[in-house]
């Protein structure tokens, strides 16, 4: 089986990135920090091995925010575009083992051949899911995100 290449970008298209790896897992997160960072009621993340993403254009527009106050005790560096403020991905996931690309930042996030492979397998902080948000069918419902 060959490794897939994924491409992503921000809303204004100034920043582009690619990931050369197969996803480890696809997840959603209902934690306070993810909601605040994205301005949404949950995030959907495609998780890849650490070090598998690289910026391909727009490096001057790449900004970071160190988010060290996580309920899971896992500090993240959040990568986003300083021009349009689009969140792109998080570094430092699983205590440095993974990076999490925001599903919506992927340009090729749901081509037909990947449709079933890109469905979330786990929902983190399901206890904080808003009442009107429907759980993902078949996904593990985790009340928190495991720490160390």
- Look at residue 116 and tell me if it is in a domain: yes
Alpha-carbon dihedral sign for residues 98, 103, 108, 113: positive
pLDDT at position 108: 78
Which domain range does residue 91 map to?
5-141
- Look at residue 146 and tell me if it is in a domain: no
0.85 cut: is pTM over it? yes
- Look at residue 148 and tell me if it is in a domain: no
- Look at residue 43 and tell me if it is in a domain: yes
CATH number at residue 92: 2.170.150.70
Residue 4 has pLDDT above 90, yes or no: no
Residue 11 has pLDDT above 50, yes or no: yes
- Look at residue 50 and tell me if it is in a domain: yes
State pLDDT tens for residues 14-53. Answer: 999 999 999 999 999 999 999 999 999 999 999 999 999 9
Which residues does 50 contact at the CB level (< 8 Å), separation at least 6?
91, 92, 93, 96, 97, 98, 99
- Look at residue 89 and tell me if it is in a domain: yes
What is the count of structural domains for the chain?
1
């Amino acid at each position: 089986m060959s490794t897939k290449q994924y491409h992503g970008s921000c809303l204004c298209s100034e920043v582009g990135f690619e990931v050369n790896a197969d996803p480890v897992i696809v997840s959603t997160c209902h934690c306070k920090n993810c909601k605040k960072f994205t301005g949404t009621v949950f995030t959907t993340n495609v998780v890849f091995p650490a070090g598998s993403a690289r910026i391909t254009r727009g490096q001057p527009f790449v900004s970071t925010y160190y988010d060290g106050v996580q309920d899971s005790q896992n500090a993240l560096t959040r990568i986003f575009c300083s021009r349009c403020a689009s969140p792109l991905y998080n570094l430092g996931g699983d205590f440095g083992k993974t990076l999490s690309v925001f599903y919506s930042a992927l340009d090729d996030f749901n081509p037909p051949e990947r449709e079933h492979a890109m469905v979330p397998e786990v929902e983190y902080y399901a206890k904080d899911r808003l009442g009107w948000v429907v759980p993902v069918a078949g996904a593990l419902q985790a009340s928190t995100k495991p720490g160390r």
